[in-house]
Amino acid sequence: MRAILKDFFNYLRVERNLSPNTLDAYTIDLQRYVAWLTERNISHPAHLKREDLTNFILELYRIPLSRRSIARNLSAIRMFHKFMLGEGYISEDIAAVVELPKLGKYLPQTLDIPEVEAFLDLIDTDTDLGLRDRAMFELLYGSGLRISELIKIRLPELLFSSGVIRVLGKGRKERVVPLSGESIEWLKRYIARSRGELAKKTIKGENYLFLNVRGTPISRMGVWKLIQKYVQLAGINKDVSPHTFRHSFATHLLEGGADLRSVQEMLGHASIATTQIYTHLDLDFVREVFTTYHPRERKKFL
């Protein structure tokens, strides 16, 4: 089954030209699926029954995952089964009738401020990797970066004297994003104490900021696995991904009084309509702002 899965990923990479983020997500989703089947001694897709697929779908709802994550899992499974049918591994596509959950309007998952603090504070900064992780997640949350931007940062793009970082975003558009005081402090500690130790292990790290245990640039998957580790340790019962920190960054800025246009610039959104979704996240906060500032709401009848 794992050999078939490898062929499928090669197909996605070469023929479907999916983005690295989508490939990473599908890899995680389908590895979970195949591991679940293997645990039940289903070693070949021809032995898979509708009942098995139904039980796995029920397992997804029990994990728990968000409806959006479940929809992505099921989409990956349907695509995988369609591929296996086309390649002759199976004679019937039992996943073709699987329906995706209705999502409605998408409101991104966020962490509240105490959850962010719990996540960051439990990282053991007495180790080189722990210090790297603290600096990395302070930056991910403190500057609202995309995961693709975070892993490509090089040392010259950190401008500590100006308190900013240069980021190459979507469409190779460069923007300048402020660094938080906490980010600056932890990044300086990491660079001074830990990065050099990691860089000694290979010459391939070049001047990338965040390196893995082998001294090469950390990957999307590496960051995702670290998030799952720390989320579990912090007891956070949410479906958290690297993008959750970006969503939280934007939400907390707006809740703190930042204007939408400034947040748009920091996030690197081409359209302010993309940023506006964050105004729908905290309905209690939105109502409080309306009550406080709208002239017709403030007016009292005597």
Judged against a pLDDT cut of 60, whether residue 223 lies above it is answered with: yes
CA distance 182 to 21: 28
Question: 50 and 185: one domain?
Answer: no
164-168 sheet: strands from edge to edge = 158-159, 164-168, 174-178
- Going by C-alpha positions, the residue among 56, 46, 60, 51 that lies closest to residue 93 is 46
User: What Rg do the C-alpha atoms of the chain give, in angstroms?
Assistant: 22
Token pair of 297, please?
């709401």
Instruction: Give the total number of structural domains in the chain.
Output: 2
CATH of the domain at 177: 1.10.443.10
In a domain, 96, yes or no: no
CA distance 194 to 123: 15
**The predicted structure's pLDDT at residue 301:** 44
**For residue 62, is it left (φ>0), alpha (ψ between -120 and 50) or beta?**
alpha
Tell whether the torsion through CA atoms of 19, 60, 250 and 233 is positive or negative.
negative
Judged against a pLDDT cut of 70, whether residue 54 lies above it is answered with: yes
Q: How crowded is residue 245: how many other Cβ atoms within 10 Å of its Cβ?
A: 25
Q: E strands of 89-136, at which residues?
A: none
pLDDT tens digits along 76-100: 999 999 999 988 999 999 998 888 8
Q: Are 281 and 298 in contact (CB under 8 A)?
A: no
Residues known to be catalytic: 146, 170, 243, 246, 269, 278
Query: What is the reported pTM?
Result: 0.61
Question: 235 and 136: one domain?
Answer: yes
Q: What is the mean pLDDT of residues 123-144?
A: 95
- Which domain range does residue 35 map to? 2-87
Q: Which amino acid is at 114?
A: P
pLDDT above 70 as % of the chain? 85
